[in-house]
Amino acid sequence: MQILKRIGIILVWLAGPVFVFAAVNKNDPYLIALRGPGNIVLAAASIIAVVVLIRRGYWRRGVAGRLLILLWCLPSLSMLGAHTSFEWRKRSVLQIGAAQARSLGRHFIVGYSSFPEVAVLAEKGLISGVYITRHNIAGSTAARLKEEISALQEKRRAAGLPPLIVAADQEGGIVSHLAPPLTKLPALSTLASLAVDVRAERAEAFGRTHGQELAALGVNMNLAPVLDLRPEMKRNRLDFNTLIRYRAISDDPAIVADIARAYVNGLEASGVGATVKHFPGLGRVRTDTHHFSADLDTPLEELEASDWLPFRKVLAGSKAQLMIGHVTLTSVDPDRAASHSKRVVDGIVRKKWNYQGVVMTDDLVMGAIYQRNVCTAVVEALNAGVDLLLVAFDGAQFYRIFTCAVAASAEGRLDAAMLGDSDMRLKGVFPRERQGPRYSTTSNTAAPGVLARPMTD
């Protein structure tokens, strides 16, 4: 019995630091499950532990007993401190002047769980778009989500702001975040073995189905299709969440380009924009950027001749936007991920390819960025010519990330010329009339105009 008591005390001592760590980091994306009811459970457990220890006389058992009680007081105090810090940062963001809010806010798309909270961000111009995923539809209906999106757009109109970009991940296959209630289509890879004309027809039909159903909800941007080449079966052993093998269309760049271009045509014909991803490509990397940094060591000549062909072909033949992933292109910029590398975004995409459309990052809440220096990534991305910063998985991180941009602006660390060019590109997201192409395959000089797809709200 005495041994069991000692084991119990040891476990209490070991559990204390774990609870303190969880409380201090309760706002971290990896601990998102602790939000709401989880916070209450954590606080209640620590208070109960303190009460039990005091009732069993540990306060009178000398220094060790008192230290144990104080240890279990820390989780509640730490949670209070973390919550206060979060609320202070949130209030600071919400109190930013209208001009600065709209100037910086046009560069952010944010995921959300609370409609009242995101409605304030939309109304103040602190964001340019919202990201819709499965938790926005769970326990609800398509009609209710449509009403919610419509209400957000009405607030934008009333505030004299451009319509919100409303983005979703509806690729088909395993990434069909709004199905149900939308139609669950198979992955585009299921079309790869069909005859050329048949697969193009089917891919466009897939795009029309997605486009029509998304447009009916009020979604005007689909973060699809995936243009990464399919990796070898055992290549990505540390791919826990990206699962690119199941999302990639094919390992043949020509097939990827043909199917993707037809799919994008179907989306655009329905009034929904496409965002091709994840340049410079995830098929060759061995780790999952949701959690780890990842290097792409392949020579540029090989990438241009294979992995990048689908990107160039689809961008040249459509009004699609481009998503930059958090992969480090080591031969170009070994010190930072492509998503915030000026050498990649401005040097390759803008100047070498002469792509003058909208470029957005993959989710900044991914471990490859967030667990390193997210503030540096935000500033470098904007200075590199990235137009939209995505904060999708955990929208609460928006306040921290936006604060990074505000601080950089106040300190003069944002490139005014780059922001000006970006503003021009973003003004074309909702053009009054359909305009000409914005991508040239014959010139390495910047095009004078920046165009984007027409979208409905």
Bond before 280 cis per omega within 30 degrees: yes
438 burial (CB, 10 Å; 0-12 / 13-18 / 19+) is buried
Q: What is the DSSP letter of 336?
A: S
State how far the Cα of 268 lies from the Cα of 314, in Å rounded to an integer. 13
Exposure on the CB side of residue 395, measured as CA atoms within 13 A: 21
Residue 226 φ/ψ region, left for φ over 0, alpha for ψ in the -120 to 50 degree band, beta for the rest: beta
Beta pairing partners, 359: 322
Q: State yes or no: is 346 an active-site residue.
A: no
State how far the Cα of 109 lies from the Cα of 242, in Å rounded to an integer. 20
State how far the Cα of 368 lies from the Cα of 325, in Å rounded to an integer. 10
- The label of the residue with tokens 């559990």 reads 15
How many CB atoms within 10 Å of residue 277?
Answer: 25
Q: Shortest CA distance to 245 belongs to which of 226, 260, 258, 230?
A: 230
Q: Shortest CA distance to 313 belongs to which of 159, 146, 441?
A: 441
User: Which residue among the candidates 258, 288, 333, 362 is catalytic per the annotation?
Assistant: 362
Backbone phi and psi for residue 279, each to the nearest 5 degrees, phi listed first: -55, 140
State how far the Cα of 313 lies from the Cα of 316, in Å rounded to an integer. 5
Which tokens sit at 98?
């209208």
Q: State yes or no: is 135 an active-site residue.
A: no
State how far the Cα of 151 lies from the Cα of 136, in Å rounded to an integer. 15
- Integer angstrom CA distances of residue 441 from 302, 315, 351: 19, 10, 11
How many CB atoms within 10 Å of residue 288?
Answer: 21
User: Which residue among the candidates 107, 278, 290, 326 is catalytic per the annotation?
Assistant: 290
Which residues are known catalytic residues? Answer: 290, 362
